[in-house]
Every structure is written in structure tokens, then in C-alpha cells.
Structure 1
Amino acid sequence: MIPFDQLPYRPCVGVVLVNRDGLVFLGQRVGGAEHVDALHSWQMPQGGIDEGESPEEAALRELYEETNVSSVEPLAVASDWFAYDLPEPIAREAWKGRYRGQKQKWVALRFTGEEAEIDVRHPGGGHHKPEFTGWRWERLERTPALIIPFKRPVYDRVVAEFLPLVAKAG
């Protein structure tokens, strides 16, 4: 077995979806409250980058697959990749133990649609399994306190990188 600290990171994207009021989308993970308390079961949309897909393309696809949202305009892409390790017992189960965690390229998008477009119960036009049980708009700077603890350093970096942009985007 490969030592945990030598496993690679799974390439992913994270999406900072900003509304007209300068708030960001948070979804409550399906089963999230079963693993941590309900307060820390929130996150922004994220997911794997498919072969041959750019981070920007993956961000649009993942956002649609998780929220049904397609009415967006690009704002920015993070200057770097942000990585986090899963706790080792979870990492050994997830993705068949091939990865120690995820490295994410974060993409900020402005939501240009109406809230009725957001549908976490029937995402991707009803063609994808729901990943969220609910959703809400939140101030970006509050998101690290609402995230599962092992992801907080990434969310701290997302806040540092995108807060000036989000403040202007509203």
C-alpha cells in the first residue's frame, strides 16, 4: 500500500457563485449532518475535472450538475491550486484509495438568473443525483466557519483571494 502522504491529489474545481447582493451560494451536503454537526455541513459547489476539460468548463458543468444553474457570467479564476487532505480513513475509502485529498482550482461566477432556476433537489435538469439537501446565500467571509474542519484552510484562501472581487460583484 502506498503511504498516505505519497498519494496524489484529485484534480477538482470549486465554484464561488455570487448573486446580485454580493452573497455566495452554499449548499448543505446530502448526509453532511450525519458526519459533522449541521452547522458544518455546508459547502460551495465543487467536483472533479474530467479528462480534457479546463477548470472553467468543469466549473460550469459541476455547477449545473449540483444546482441546475446555468445563468452565469465569468468573474475570475484563482491564481493557484488550493489543496486539502481528507482524514486518512475517509481517503482510503473514497475514490478507491487513489487520492489523499483534492487540489482545487476555484472559479468565481456571477449568477445572472432568477432564484427559481436553482434546484438542488433535481439538479442538472433532473439527470443528476442530488448532492445538496438545501441551499442559502451567505457572506463569503463567513463560509470558513460553516465548512467541515479539514476544508477550512482552503476556504480561508478562497476568502482571501475572492473577497475583494465579491464585494465589487454585488
Structure 2
Amino acid sequence: MTDKNDLPYRPCAGVMLLNADGLAFAGQRLDTTMEAWQMPQGGIDPGEEAGEAAIRELGEEIGVGPEHVELIAEAPGEFFYDLPDDLIGKVWKGKWRGQRQKWFLYRFLGDDTDIDLATPHPEFMSWRWVDPHELPGLIVPFKRKLYEDVIAAFSGHLTRA
């Protein structure tokens, strides 16, 4: 069995995407049997900046291009989560213990029809707009603290519905 303390964190970028009503995008993951929702996020490629990865992930995961978003804020520092022990060695080809994420807050300038989950490598089966403060209750438990930290980092830009 792999000792998770010997494994590095996977570098990732995440996006909180807000619509005109201040609601955040949440997508229901395709690759799980439980009801798992999350915001767009993914790995940072070698040589890629976190901000570039965030925009790329929006396109890859929800079909939203850079012309449909406007940067509001970048969270200071990075946020971390560890995979549960039963997933160590099973996901990401066993190379990572969890993720270290750089988060960005974007305003969505498009229409709901600009969101397209039928991308070449789909990640979500459905999506909805939610109050950002509801996100920790929708996410898988091992990512909950990270989502709470992201919301706290962007709190000055978020309004309660």
C-alpha cells in the first residue's frame, strides 16, 4: 500500500463562476455513483500558469470560452485537500495524495445556453446555479473544508441570496 505522506499534491486550478444574480456554477460529476457536485477545476499542465489552466478548464469542462468570463478576484495562496485513504493509489494513477489548488473568481458574461457539458471529455452530467454558501454542503466530504476556505477567500465579493 502506498504511504500517502510519500506522495506530492497535484497542482490544480479552480474556478468559482458567478452569474449576474451572484449564484455559483455547480456541476454534478459523471464519474461517481454518489451525488457529487463541484465547481470547475483541474490540473495545471507543465509550463502552464494557474490562470491559464483555470480558463482552459472552463472550456474543457463546461464549454465556456474566455470571451464569456471576466476575472473578479484571485484567491491568495493555495488550498489543499487530501484524498481519503481508500482512494490513495486508485485515482490519478496513484501519483498524488490530493490536490493543491489556486482559485479564481470569475463573472459569467454569457447566457445559460453558452454552457455546454457535451465537451470532448465530459466531466459533468448536469449543472445548476447555487448560492455559493451552499457549495460546501454539495461537495464530497473530503473537499468540504477546501470549499469553505475558497468561499471565505472570496467572501468580500459574494452576496447572500
**TM-score above 0.5:** yes
Equivalent position of 1:53 in the other structure: 48
1:109 partner SS: strand
Which blocks of at least 5 consecutive residues in structure 1 are unaligned? none
Equivalent position of 1:138 in the other structure: 130
1:12 matched to 2:4: no
Structure 1's consecutive aligned runs of 4 or more residues displaced over 4 angstroms after TM superposition are none
Separation (CA, whole Å) in 2 of partners of 1:59 and 1:27: 15
Q: Is the 8 A contact 2:2 2:89 kept in 1?
A: no
Q: Is the 8 A contact 1:141 1:163 kept in 2?
A: no
Shift of 1:2: 5.5
Separation (CA, whole Å) in 1 of partners of 2:84 and 2:74: 27
| 1:9-158 equivalence runs, <5 A | 9-32=9-32, 34=33, 36=34, 38=35, 41-70=36-65, 71-120=68-117, 122-123=118-119, 128-158=120-150
Q: Is the 8 A contact 1:92 1:98 kept in 2?
A: yes
TM-score, normalised relative to structure 1: 0.88
The 3 A distance-change label for structure 1 pair 31 and 13 is: same
Q: Is the 8 A contact 2:16 2:39 kept in 1?
A: yes
Determine what percentage of the aligned residue pairs are the same residue. Answer: 49
Shift of 1:4: 1.2
Residue-pair matches, total: 159
Separation (CA, whole Å) in 2 of partners of 1:114 and 1:161: 26
Separation (CA, whole Å) in 2 of partners of 1:114 and 1:15: 18
The superposition leaves residues 142-163 of structure 1 with CA deviations (integer Å, 9 ceiling, x where unpaired) of 1000000000010010111112
Which blocks of at least 5 consecutive residues in structure 2 are unaligned? none
Separation (CA, whole Å) in 1 of partners of 2:115 and 2:3: 41
Q: Which has the higher helix share?
A: 1
The superposition leaves residues 6-58 of structure 1 with CA deviations (integer Å, 9 ceiling, x where unpaired) of 311000011100100000000000033x1x3x2xx110001000111111100
| 1:155-166 equivalence runs, <5 A | 155-166=147-158
Q: Is the 8 A contact 1:11 1:103 kept in 2?
A: yes
State the AA in 1 paired with 2:54: A
Separation (CA, whole Å) in 2 of partners of 1:158 and 1:4: 24
